[in-house]
Amino acid sequence: MNEVRVFAPASVANVAVGFDILGFAIHGPGDEVVARFVDQKGLSIKTITGVGEKKLPLEVEKNTAGYSALKLLEELQETDRGIELEIHKKMPFGSGLGSSAASAVGGAFAVNELLGAPLDKKALLPFAVLGEQIADGAYHADNVAPSLLGGLTLIRSNEELDVHSIALPQELYASVVYPYVEILTKDARDVLSDQVSLTQCIKQCGNLAGLLIGLQNEDFGLISRSLNDVIIEPQRSKLIPHFAKVKEIAIKKGALGYSISGAGPSVFALSRGEETAKIVGKSMQQVFINAGINADLFVSPINKDGATRL
């Protein structure tokens, strides 16, 4: 085998109440990465196509896919192997949908597959997190873990990469809307205060625990009551035009909850059943369009596969 092609899906990080520690993968948008053996020694990136191609560096050490693949090759002591990557971006860039994480996952996963899968999927996580870190400077796995492993993942500790898959109701659907406005993750992190009051902490802990129990027990009422971020959303929502109006319509149309996807500008709602998710998503998208802001809509069940070989 001389070549492999893989897909790493987009993901929704934070999921309202789990800043930096919760995320789920969706179907549809994502990155394809091709890895192949070549004669010239070392790792190189041959080409980047798709959204953001002109903004993304071809230098291995500066590229999230390249860096995660390089770190894996170093661990495996395979840096002399001649390997080139192609990165095909099939998702919006700078959208809050985990674009850099999908590339980082794709890089490590593709190279591991090309080498005959010496490591299992979960063991690739540290390399993918290091790859994503060069995009925003922070070390967190809430996009990388779901993009790699699929499902909804809880990261008990980012330092230890103590990552767990959370049980999910089959009927759970996400409506994700990407409005065409630019928010850099670094800027969205810089607006956050590092102080949290005890009252906020108690409320957020209750909601996080409630969400996880609600998902496990398929208790949609509890899920809905728990999807309420009292720490991050109040600080970041001002960066997203029409945030409150989109939230109001999502809830009115039957969503269980609504918040910012990752660092934004994308927003997401969770609903019970595909029909409701479609109605909710279209209504959310329409608010942006009516305000003269172009917006993409993705309606998807939670993607349980994560990164896959094509």
Active site residues: 132, 185
Stretch that binds ligand HSE, among 1-9, 138-146, 174-182, 216-224 (CB under 6 A): 138-146
Which of 225, 221, 269 is closest to 246 using CA atoms? 269
Residue from 6, 9, 10, 14 binding ligand HSE (CB under 6 A): 14
140 lies in the site for ligand HSE, by CB under 6 A: yes
145 lies in the site for ligand HSE, by CB under 6 A: no
CB 134 within 8 A of CB 64: yes
Helix axes 274-290, 243-252, angle to 10 degrees: 150
Least Å from the CB of residue 232 to ligand HSE: 7
Distance CA 205, CA 226 (A): 10
Q: Pseudo-torsion of CA 113, 118, 123, 126, nearest 10°?
A: -70
Which of 136, 36, 31 is closest to 87 using CA atoms? 31
189 lies in the site for ligand HSE, by CB under 6 A: yes
Distance CA 27, CA 139 (A): 25
Give, for 286, the enclosing helix (H) or strand (E): helix 274-290
- Cβ closest to ligand HSE, residue 131 vs residue 220: 131
CA angle 255, 16, 288 (to 5 degrees): 60
262 lies in the site for ligand HSE, by CB under 6 A: yes
185 lies in the site for ligand HSE, by CB under 6 A: yes
Least Å from the CB of residue 143 to ligand HSE: 6
Query: Could you say which residues in the range 20-39 bind ligand HSE, by CB under 6 A?
Result: 20
- Cβ closest to ligand HSE, residue 115 vs residue 212: 212
Stretch that binds ligand HSE, among 64-72, 135-143, 248-256, 281-289 (CB under 6 A): 135-143
Site for ligand HSE, rule CB under 6 A: 13-14, 19-20, 136, 140, 142-143, 185, 188-189, 262-263
